[in-house]
Structure 1
Amino acid sequence: MLTGAGGFLGWHVRVLVRALGWPEPVTLTRADLADPVAVAAVVSGADRLLHLAGVNRGDPAEVAAGNVELAAALARGLRQCPVPPKTVVFANSVQAGNGTPYGDSKQAAAATLAGATGGGPGFDDVLLPNLYGEHGRPHYNSVVATFCRQLADGAAPEVRDDRELTLVHALDAAARLLDAPPAGPWDGAMPAVRLGVRALADRLTGFARVYRRGEIPALADRHDVRLFNTYRSHCFPGHCPLPLVRHADRRGALVEVVKAHGGAGQTFASTSGPGITRGEHFHLAKVERFAVLSGTAEIALRRVGHRDIVRFRVGGDEPVVVDMPTMWAHNITNTGDGELLTLFWANELFDPAYPDTYPEPVRGAAARPAAPAVVG
């Protein structure tokens, strides 16, 4: 159960819940919070209630009032609960109480919720650092999102204040808030990376420079992978598919499908008969590339929790690659009359114990048909 389900952190929480195979969480909108009786009826007896709704940016007075009022509205509902939730989790900030309208309002919100829950083990006040991750809003959620958007648009990141940052991926924050079991590419201990704003801009710029050539940059650690995936989320679908140069002579043809700086990864190929679909899953961290070498196919993708489907029509006569964005369900279907030969590449060796592969149909109940966004 959560508030703020439609926000940046809320989406990552819902994606992680889907990956864990847990029931879809009940959500409370800001309109719902205005009715304390209705709030009490919904949250009464809940096992875990996450309060993520808040205001990060904007007019200082509106930021301060928004965070305080949202917490107060939830508190009014909690006080009327016949059976209080076992745990109320507040997505607080390390900036709480720092003298800014945002920091002081987060501290006040925490105090309000602690009072409504009686504090103690029933209230989990989680101080979150700077969060980054896929599909963050530029100039709102984080400087990472801003830099990624600028680079995806072909511009250079604008560094105005070169201070040191402590960055945590939103999925790791979601795991901490959910108290998720350690069974996948998330870490509830919220491992952080510390680096300056200029160093962040340089790292992302390096990723973008290599990726524009269709190559995979060196990804030295978990934060490199996640920063690269964050950048890729701002490139999709506009930068896809990536064309491949086909060298042909009397002997045949050659294409270079993957150039991975740093060397890690696994390549495999598959054949599929006419009408056969492969995939129907999503990944949380894995970088995965598809390339059709022979035959024709449609690659379809849908962002988890969203409805629109992006489609690419691809074929071996004009080879291209499509990189699967993280947290997007995807599949590939043989649309031809003959056999389809597809090459797949991933940035890591497949580990059956931790496959980072979660079932999700692209054309599920939440999906709706859409015209192809890009035709390859």
Structure 2
Amino acid sequence: MLRLAITGGGGFLGWHIRVLLRALGWPEPVLLTRADLADRAIVAEKVSGVDRVLHLAGVNRADDPAEVTAGNARLATRLAEGLHAASVPPGSVVFANSVQAGNGTPYGDGKAAAADILADTGLPLDDVRLPNLYGEHGRPRYNSVVATFCRLLADGGRPEVHQDRQLDLVHVTDAAARLIGVPAGGSWDPALPALRVGVRELADRLGHLATVYRTGDVPPLPDRHHVRLFNTYRSHCFPAHYPLPLPRRADARGELVEAVRAHGGAGQTFCSSTVPGVTRGEHFHLAKVERFVVLRGSADICLRRVGDDEVVRFPVSGDTPVLVDMPTMWVHKIVNTGPDELVTLFWTNELFDPDRPDTWPEPVERLPSGRVAVPA
């Protein structure tokens, strides 16, 4: 369990690293903002004595291409100056570099220059060259083409591909595991397994996921990248697309509700009864797809994105069955709010494995300070 300091901790990769650290139970990392990097004394104080400094901050785009090169070098220089001034030097530095480093583009040249600057500090340097990253809550038209396509599809549009090319896509949680130095787990792989796919094929694959899921059906999820692409798409649907109504069919015998229609997959289904006032959940998942459907009684389904304060609440009732799928990396719970027993159907895309449960405990409610509230 290491104590880390992170530059760029508020970005796409930085957020996923902080989520993984939360799941692992590691200490909250020390965050270095861009304003901090402008002050050598602040950097020195924050990095002093930490086990590892993760340098994620960079410049991806600018109106002037030369600023992309200069900006990456400048951020590395400011960090290096703070490292030199630390009273207790950190144990090592990990640089989130790019496979484009040194390819002659402004971005590639800037990343290569940053790596050289950090190497000159004399501290042990892990120079990690990352390919294209994708994952939940990426910024469209900024973090990855996956985020751009997912946002278009979630908004009812269709991606247009004008120039096809091959991509190597790595899920951001795998990159997070590589950078913090943890071995393979149930939901991450620091070996960075890549999906090799063309842009047009990617658009078609995501379009199929969106089409099948539009009515709540679960698309085929034959491998880990299909699951993670689906989770990425779902992150752009939440919370606006939920809860999703379920069709009810009734005759003289009673009623029928189709709660889960999984195309080409199985998973695990189970039901629970919950007495009034009792809460179930208070955890999050990194990769597991999980569905809640209340069949009898009334409840609040409450969710909070890891690291955020805002809680999203869905009042649901068995009188009007709906589905709510839990987005990955959102803490969630279900509370029986009625006077009678609550009956809930749960479905997950994978069988429960007690050795690798992908279930990370954390309360939904947070205190005003930002700390989590411990349930009574």
**Partner letter of residue 33 of structure 1?**
L
Q: Distance in 1 between matches of 2:278 and 2:72?
A: 50
Question: In the alignment, which of 55, 60, 68 is matched to residue 56 of structure 1?
Answer: 60
CA distance in 2, matches of 1:107, 1:244: 53
Contact in 1 for aligned 2:222/2:265 (Cα 8 Å): no
Is 1:215–2:208 an aligned residue pair? no
- What is the SS of the residue equivalent to 1:68? helix
State the AA in 1 paired with 2:41: V
Q: Is the 8 A contact 1:134 1:230 kept in 2?
A: yes
Question: Structure 1 stretch 245-254 or stretch 337-346: which is displaced more?
Answer: 245-254
Q: Which residue does the alignment assign to 1:102?
A: 107
- Cα distance in structure 2, aligned partners of 1:141 and 1:56: 9
Equivalent position to 1:12, from 13, 16, 30: 16
Q: Who is 2:168 aligned against?
A: 166
Give the counterpart of 1:188 among 184, 187, 190: 190
Amino acid at match of 2:78: A
* Pairing of 1:150-161 with structure 2 (within 5 A): 150-161=152-163
| Equivalent residue, structure 2, for 1:266 | 268
- Give the TM-score, by structure 1 length: 0.95
Matched residue SS, 2:129: strand
Identify which range, 182-191 or 291-300, moves more after superposition.
182-191
Q: Matches of 2:45 and 2:281 in 1, distance apart?
A: 40
Distance 1:336 1:367, change over 3 A: farther
CA distance in 1, matches of 2:94, 2:235: 28
Residue 119 of structure 2: SS of its match in structure 1? helix
- Give the 5 Å matches for 1:356-375: 356-365=358-367, 366=370
Q: Deviations over 1:271-323 (max 9, x none)?
A: 00111100000000000000000000000000000111111000000000000
Aligned length: 365
- Residue identity over aligned pairs, in percent, reads 70
Report deviation, 1:361: 0.6
For residues 318-366 of structure 1, the C-alpha deviation after alignment (integer angstroms, 9 at most, x for no partner) is 0000000000000000000000000000000000000000001110233
Indicate if the aligned counterparts of 1:36 and 1:73 stay in contact, CA closer than 8 A.
yes
Deviation at 1:250, TM superposition (A): 2.2
SS in structure 2 opposite 1:305? Answer: coil
Cα distance in 1 for partners of 2:268, 2:335 equals: 22
Query: SS of 2:19's equivalent?
Result: helix
Paired with 2:254 and 2:264, the residues of 1 have a C-alpha distance of 30
Measure, in 2, the Cα distance between the counterparts of 1:16 and 1:295.
Answer: 35
Structure 1 unmatched ranges of 5 or more:
369-376
How far is 1:96 from its partner?
0.4
Partner of 1:123: 125
Offset, 1:367: 7.8
How far 1:44 moved relative to its partner?
1.7
Aligned-residue Cα RMSD (Å) equals 1.2
CA contact (8 A) 1:67 1:106 kept: yes
TM-score of the superposed pair, with normalisation by structure 2 = 0.95
One-letter identity of the residue aligned with 2:161: V
Q: Displacement, 1:211? A: 0.2
Aligned partners of 1:306 and 1:367 also within 8 Å? no
